Every structure is written in structure tokens, then in C-alpha cells.
């Protein structure tokens, strides 16, 4: 069996499962946010139960429109807040919170071998820890809150092997953008993407979270990494319960094995309006921008901010654009302060926001007007994703985004001598 199949088999009480099997799977964690929780709560009430299956395994995080941007978002947050208090769920309020997919691993709530479902498509982020994690609809989340189980089809697996050594400014963001550019936004439809190879093993945990996060942009059900010493170094200080590491069998069957040599790979830029519309940064041409966003559940971790700060140190943001930095959590924010990273951003002319999803989904803290262009470290650049349907969003890693903020156009950090 593959890594995904082993995890699902263990969680449905079977010795073996195969792609296409329909199974009831026990979940270790159920997640919802201020957009998706209210609908899940409504459906949970309709079931007629008084209590969730296990209050320790249901997590609610207000991160999309919190701190509340208007009355409607305040009402959404209140529904979730009241339910979390009533049910005594795991809940993070403003001042303690951050973007859900940043804080759950940070707090040790997701561990290797877990099955995690969330009412958010980027729940697949937790695959970086060797967990099977996937997004589902709010009604599925309501059912899971009631029963502690989900009903699903076992996905087939694609194995991606990344050979070689990445260049100076090439990160996990570039590996996943390149991959999506090669296979398309439906190239892994309802499959588990298994990431491996020496280039992947050399990646930091922050870069692995980024890659797993964007598996959904290839249509995948999940993205998953093998658990190695880097994973365990991350997990052990945070874990408050036992966990099991699952490894794929040497004879595991994959729908396809895809191999890449990443040694010649440049930083990648995804052009509007698809994450698959990628090209190397050297082939971008002259594209002037109005806004830069560095953050999100994809690239709002400490390493991402450190990379951006290295590029912005001693330089100034172009006077004709806005550069918005959004730490992924309060802990990331605090560590950035301690390391003087926040000071670097402010001295460069950027602004630093409280942790939030904010502009990534067109929420707030950086909405685009018609005709405006933004380069962002976020995960999606669909039409109207960050505001007007006549705006454009380009996706890139933090180094490219920071260099672009300095030059006022999409640029490589090498262009400014970084």
C-alpha cells in the first residue's frame, strides 16, 4: 500500500484498502473557520444531537474575516464563537489565533498518521507532517462533528520524485508551481500526491507545508510527505499525544510516477488566471504591479518572512505600490519582531498586518480595484480572487514578491543584487 492507503486502512479497521474502495474513516481532527463553520453548525443542529462526538477533536479558527471587517463577518464569527464555547471546542480567539493551516501544526494539533478533515480546501497542508488531510464541504463537517467519521472513496496515488539540488532562491513554492504547470489544475484529480526525492528531503518544514498546501491546486484529494528526522524534530516538541508513522511499501502501486530534475529550475511565476499558467521568472518580461502580498496559509510562516526580509533589507518599496506583509500566526509575528524582521519591513515601506487570510480570498486588507495587478505568495489567482474581476493576480515565492516590491514590476531577487 501507499502511505495514504496505509493511513486510511488503519482508520477504517481494515488490513488493506485499494483505490476506489468506499470506506468509513475515523477522524482525528475536524476543522472549520468563520466562513464555513456557521453552515456546519446549522447542519449539526438539524441532526438533533446535543454534543459533538469529541470536543477535543473539533477545532474552530476565526481567520478569514477576523478581526471582523463588517457586521456580516461579525455575525458569522459570533455563531462560531458561541458554538465553540457551548461545546467546549478547541478554539482560538483574536490575539491567540492565526491562519488555521499555520497554527494547527504550530500548536501540535496535527501529528503524523492522523486523518484530518476541514471545511477549507487547503486542509491538505497537513500532509507535510505525514498526515492524510483533506478539505470537505460544511455538511460533511457537520456529519463528522456528530459521528467522528467520514465516508469517502480511497484515492489512487501519484508519486512525484524531485531529483537534484535547488538553486538559491528556489523554494517549495517553486517546486509545486512548476509541478502544477506541468500536470495542470486537474492533473491529480481526486488523487493523493506523494512528494519524494532528494530535493524534497532537503526542504525545510515550512517549504513542505507550502507544497502540501497547493496540492489542491492540481485537483488532488491530498498531498503527503514521508516522515523523516526533520518532521520528527518539528513534531516532538509540540506533540501532546501519541502518533503513528506510516511508510509506503516498497512494492506500493501508483497510478503514475513522475520525476523531475530541479537543479536547473528557476523561481516560478503563475500568470492570471490559473496556478498552472506558470513560467520561469526570467521569462516574465516587464509587468508593472500595484500591490504585493506576502503571507497566507501558503507562505505566511517564519521562513517566508525571513526570505522576504533578506531581499528587502536596506532597500525601499517602490513608491507607486503597496506592500502588505501578513504573518501566519501570532507566534510567527512575535518571532519576526524578536528577529527584527518586522522592523526591516516597516523601514522598507511595507505594512504589517495582524494574522489573517485577508486579501487572499478577496476578504479585506488589500482588495484590488479594476485594472490593478498584484503579485502574491498566496495559492490562487482565479478571476476576481483578490477583488475586481478586472484585476490580475500573479503567484510567486516570497523572494520574488519582495524583489518585485522594490522594482515596481515582477522581478527576480538577483536583479537587485540580493
pLDDT at residue 417, rounded to an integer = 83
pLDDT in tens, 241-250: 999 999 999 9
- pLDDT tens for residues 96-123? 889 999 999 999 999 999 999 999 999 9
Q: Find, among 313, 295, 328, the residue nearest to 401 by Cα.
A: 295
Evaluate the CA torsion angle 208, 135, 299, 374 in order and state its sign. Answer: positive
C-alpha cell at 222: 491530498
C-alpha cell at 412: 527576480
Place of cell 516538541: 237
Cβ contact 108:116 at 8 Å: no
The CA distance from 416 to 403, in Å, is 7
Contact, 382 vs 273, CB < 8 A?
yes
Neighbours of 54 (CB within 10 A): 14
Q: Which cell numbers hold the place of 55?
A: 470536543
Across 164-300, the runs of DSSP E, i.e. the strands, are: 191-196, 222-225, 256-261, 268-270, 278-280, 291-294
Q: Name which of 52-56, 90-94, 113-117, 302-306 the model is least confident about.
A: 90-94
For the entire predicted model, the pTM comes to: 0.95
User: Over the Cα atoms of the chain, what is R_g?
Assistant: 20
pLDDT in tens, 207-242: 999 999 999 999 999 999 999 999 999 999 999 999
- What tens digit of pLDDT does each residue of 125-171 get? 999 999 999 999 999 999 999 999 999 999 999 999 999 999 999 99
> What average pLDDT does range 37-53 have in this prediction?
95
Q: How far apart are CA 147 and CA 138, in angstroms?
A: 14
Contact in structure between 268 and 410 (CB atoms under 8 Å) = no
End-to-end C-alpha distance for the chain, whole angstroms: 45
> What are residue 345's DSSP bridge partners?
none
Percent pLDDT > 70 in the chain is 100
Q: Are 123 and 117 in contact (CB under 8 A)?
A: yes
Contact between residue 395 and residue 379 where contact means Cβ atoms under 8 Å apart: yes
Q: Summarize pLDDT for 341-371 with one digit per residue, the tens.
A: 999 999 999 999 999 999 999 999 999 999 9
Residue partners of 80: CB distance under 8 A and separation at least 6: 32, 33, 34, 37, 38, 41, 60, 62
Domains of the chain by range and CATH? 3-260 (3.30.499.10), 269-416 (3.30.499.10)
Q: Retrieve residue 187's grid coordinates.
A: 492533473
For 402, the 3-state DSSP assignment is helix
Q: What confidence tier does 418 reach under pLDDT thresholds 50, 70, 90?
A: confident
Amino acid at each position: 500500500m501507499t502511505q495514504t492507503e496505509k493511513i486510511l486502512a488503519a482508520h477504517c479497521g481494515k488490513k488493506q484498502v485499494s483505490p476506489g474502495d468506499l470506506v468509513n474513516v475515523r477522524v482525528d481532527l475536524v476543522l472549520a473557520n468563520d466562513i464555513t463553520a456557521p453552515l456546519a453548525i446549522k447542519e449539526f443542529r438539524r441532526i438533533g444531537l446535543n454534543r459533538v462526538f469529541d470536543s477535543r477533536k473539533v477545532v474552530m479558527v476565526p481567520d478569514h474575516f477576523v478581526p471582523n471587517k463588517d457586521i456580516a463577518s461579525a455575525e458569522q464569527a459570533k455563531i462560531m464563537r458561541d458554538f465553540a464555547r457551548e461545546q467546549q471546542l478547541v478554539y482560538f480567539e483574536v490575539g491567540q489565533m492565526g491562519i488555521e493551516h499555520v497554527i494547527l501544526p504550530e500548536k501540535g494539533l496535527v501529528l503524523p498518521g492522523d486523518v484530518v478533515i476541514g471545511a477549507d480546501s487547503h486542509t491538505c497542508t497537513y500532509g507535510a507532517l505525514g498526515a492524510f488531510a483533506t478539505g470537505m464541504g460544511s455538511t460533511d463537517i457537520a456529519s463528522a462533528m456528530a459521528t467522528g467519521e467520514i465516508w469517502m472513496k480511497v484515492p489512487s496515488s501519484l508519486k512525484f520524485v524531485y531529483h537534484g539540488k535547488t538553486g538559491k532562491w528556489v523554494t517549495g513554492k517553486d517546486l509545486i508551481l512548476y509541478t502544477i504547470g506541468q500536470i495542470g489544475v486537474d492533473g491529480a484529480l481526486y488523487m493523493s500526491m506523494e512528494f519524494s526525492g532528494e530535493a524534497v528531503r532537503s526542504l525545510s518544514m515550512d517549504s513542505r507545508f507550502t507544497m502540501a498546501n497547493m496540492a489542491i491546486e492540481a485537483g488532488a484529494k491530498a498531498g503527503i510527505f514521508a516522515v523523516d528526522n526533520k518532521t520528527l524534530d518539528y513534531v516532538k516538541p509540540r506533540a501532546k499525544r501519541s502518533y503513528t508513522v506510516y511508510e509506503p511499501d516498497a512494492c506500493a502501486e501508483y497510478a503514475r510516477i513522475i520525476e523531475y530534475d530541479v537543479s536547473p529550475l528557476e523561481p516560478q511565476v503563475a500568470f492570471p488566471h490559473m496556478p498552472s499558467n506558470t513560467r520561469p521568472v526570467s521569462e516574465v518580461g516587464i509587468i508593472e504591479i500595484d500591490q504585493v502580498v506576502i503571507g497566507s496559509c501558503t507562505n505566511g510562516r517564519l521562513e517566508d518572512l525571513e526570505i522576504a526580509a533578506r531581499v528587502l533589507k536596506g532597500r525601499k518599496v517602490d513608491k507607486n505600490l503597496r506592500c502588505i506583509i501578513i504573518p501566519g500566526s501570532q507566534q510567527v509575528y512575535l518571532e519576526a519582531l524578536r528577529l527584527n524582521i518586522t522592523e526591516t519591513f516597516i523601514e522598507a515601506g511595507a505594512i504589517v498586518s495582524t494574522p489573517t487570510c485577508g486579501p487572499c480570498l478577496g476578504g479585506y486588507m488589500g482588495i484590488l480595484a479594476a485594472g490593478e495587478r498584484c503579485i502574491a505568495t498566496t495559492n490562487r489567482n482565479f478571476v476576481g480572487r483578490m477583488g475586481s474581476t478586472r484585476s490580475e493576480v500573479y503567484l510567486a515565492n516570497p523572494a520574488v514578491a519582495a524583489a518585485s516590491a522594490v522594482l515596481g514590476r515582477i522581478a527576480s531577487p538577483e536583479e537587485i543584487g540580493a
